Structure 1
């Protein structure tokens, strides 16, 4: 697990808005080995009024699309159901203040993708607005210099309720598309202003939860339009129907297979000399998904029992016909460099993984031990091999 260098931030007063900025030392990064995305900006990135802001829905949207996102930054906030709280949003900060820390933060976090929404406080504070476009251009250059292989998404700032401020914002926003076009193919413009109206603001400046959700949708759409920006997390695949054995692909453990024992899921070494019982326990019938889509894994030696998750632990149980059981027992395969990942039907973004010889449902960046280990991403991949017990 990578760990960013601790950075001490000075508490500042949000001039013109009367809100204290986040400060103090950086919290430990919630790194899960996924594609690092750096949300960079001011209080709207931090999530003022709605802790977590657009990052709540954006993370889920990416997970639902099969992406393993690893938000990066020295800040951390948001609700418990946001699996990754990291960000680089600073309440009250202008472009020049973000510029002052950009090189260090970008180098430390090494993002694949940067989401930049900045300039609201330049407008609200009426801080040298004629020079704001040049400051933004210089900031983008600084980010590119620190992460030359990153895709940088630069957005217009969202609407402001005050007509004078909104007029200033419109003038600033109008300069951004041409600036972005001059930065090369890895810099992309996102029209965030058009995604919201003033009805989506809680206090004339910051979005409501619904407004943040609209921001998330606009970011997600922009990422989807640039291959690799949200990670190359594989395409949906269909496993061969019939008997298969699921082999671990984590280096050093490739002789182990998913099996059931006393109804619980484990991994165990299997070879030609293994017992007939073990070979049978490590064989699954790939069948149509019980939930109506994707696929399910039926025990070879316990027909009618399927591999499912329950309270995080993976086990086998009978199909009782309920939507919950059938959802728990349905898996959607996605291609991975070493095989496939099996995503939960009813918990998109959560995957079948092995840890300490046991099978668990893991949510990258989540709060549980199985969610956060450094080996998470390799442990999510499986190879659908020929069956040990045809």
Structure 2
């Protein structure tokens, strides 16, 4: 995430004329995933529902196995939203966002930009005839500053006031053709049809239901553009039989996943290691106990399987319960340096090593294991020949 910048002046809340305090600098949140910039006004900020659409968008992407890093100079949302960063400025028009966008993009370096903007131009009746031209110029500036980013430009959500809605309809009608003129990296998202005025809390800003509908529309748009939410790998079949799981994090590639006193760790293993260590670091890949994907059975404790419990990873016997079998089932995903092991019952959470211990980490989650900058390499494993054949 980008480092916070204290706002120079308080921004007027969208359509209401109420001032909000300037932002306070806070530490950035980062999980090393695909950088996504939510850009816009108070609807992006989440007026009425702090965090707005970003709450369910993050959850949807995480559930789909995506490692996403929201970026921006602003931060808000509930404590259970793992990533609060965004670039939503209450009360701001297109021209005001345009004035900062180049510096924001150069600092945040997003892979993907989500743009919902124009409601304040409409509500403030600010040169409406020129609003489409300003939006087009803004998209050009985004493309110039982030030429490798996919840019998703949405129509604005409905407005309850008939006069404002008429202006919104005229503005929205210009967006699809503008987007088509910008090339293959710019995409139109019809947000206006995703909501009705019943989904608004105050005639302008969405309610929680409305924000959730926005999240679903953004998630659908991202899913249609490969790589825009990150290349978190296709499902893969793990190699069968006995294997040893080697760490792929640079500087730690001589370490392997092993069990010791029932808990999971990593340890240096080589040809001179003890027979016990070599056996502890060898696993049998078997069909998943939960009915799909795979489970990892201990080489020297048959019937004991690698499972997560309270975020720690350990070995446990198969007691036949649905919970144990789900905890002990892992789904492989391809990764640049090996394979990721995603939890069967916590999609988007992965087997991770940190400080020589094995745990379950959720990208962007609230735990220290989830937010460390090394998370991405730490959840990739190489399935090597077994140390104890």
What TM-score comes out, normalization by structure 1 length? 0.96
What does 1:190-209 correspond to in 2, within 5 Å? 190-209=189-208
Distance 1:312 1:12, change over 3 A: same
Query: CA separation in 2, counterparts of 1:26 and 1:184?
Result: 36
Cross-structure match for 1:103: 102
Cross-structure match for 1:138: 137
Query: CA separation in 2, counterparts of 1:66 and 1:206?
Result: 30
Query: CA separation in 2, counterparts of 1:22 and 1:103?
Result: 24
Distance 1:12 1:305, change over 3 A: same
Query: CA separation in 2, counterparts of 1:75 and 1:6?
Result: 8
Cross-structure match for 1:247: 246
Q: By how many angstroms is 1:8 displaced? A: 3.0
What does 1:35-46 correspond to in 2, within 5 Å? 35-46=34-45
Query: CA separation in 2, counterparts of 1:366 and 1:23?
Result: 26
Cross-structure match for 1:74: 73
- Tell me if structure 2 keeps the 8 A contact 1:36–1:110: yes
- Tell me if structure 2 keeps the 8 A contact 1:343–1:351: yes
Gaps of 5+ in 2: none
Matched, 1:346 2:345: yes
**Residue aligned with 1:20, SS:** coil
Query: CA separation in 1, counterparts of 2:284 and 2:29?
Result: 36
Q: Structure 1 residues 344-353 or 14-23, which shifts more?
A: 14-23
Q: Structure 1, residues 252-275: CA drift from partner, whole Å, max 9, x if none?
A: 111110000011110001111111
**Residue aligned with 2:82, SS:** coil
- Tell me if structure 1 keeps the 8 A contact 2:4–2:28: no
Matched, 1:297 2:296: yes
Matched, 1:334 2:336: no
Cross-structure match for 2:378: 379
**Residue aligned with 2:308, SS:** strand
Query: CA separation in 1, counterparts of 2:238 and 2:135?
Result: 48
**Residue aligned with 1:387, SS:** coil
Following TM superposition, the consecutive aligned residue runs of length 4 or more in structure 1 with deviations greater than 6 angstroms are none
Cross-structure match for 2:223: 224
Q: By how many angstroms is 1:102 displaced? A: 0.7
- Tell me if structure 2 keeps the 8 A contact 1:9–1:25: no
Q: By how many angstroms is 1:22 displaced? A: 5.7
Q: By how many angstroms is 1:48 displaced? A: 1.2
What TM-score comes out, normalization by structure 2 length? 0.96
Cross-structure match for 1:277: 276
Query: CA separation in 2, counterparts of 1:15 and 1:323?
Result: 49
**Residue aligned with 1:353, SS:** strand
CA RMSD of aligned residues (A): 1.5
Cross-structure match for 1:126: 125
- Tell me if structure 1 keeps the 8 A contact 2:245–2:382: yes
| Number of equivalences | 389
Query: CA separation in 1, counterparts of 2:343 and 2:31?
Result: 18
Cross-structure match for 1:63: 62
Cross-structure match for 1:48: 47
**Residue aligned with 1:257, SS:** strand
Query: CA separation in 2, counterparts of 1:377 and 1:273?
Result: 30
Query: CA separation in 2, counterparts of 1:291 and 1:333?
Result: 14
Q: By how many angstroms is 1:310 displaced? A: 1.4
Query: CA separation in 2, counterparts of 1:362 and 1:138?
Result: 41
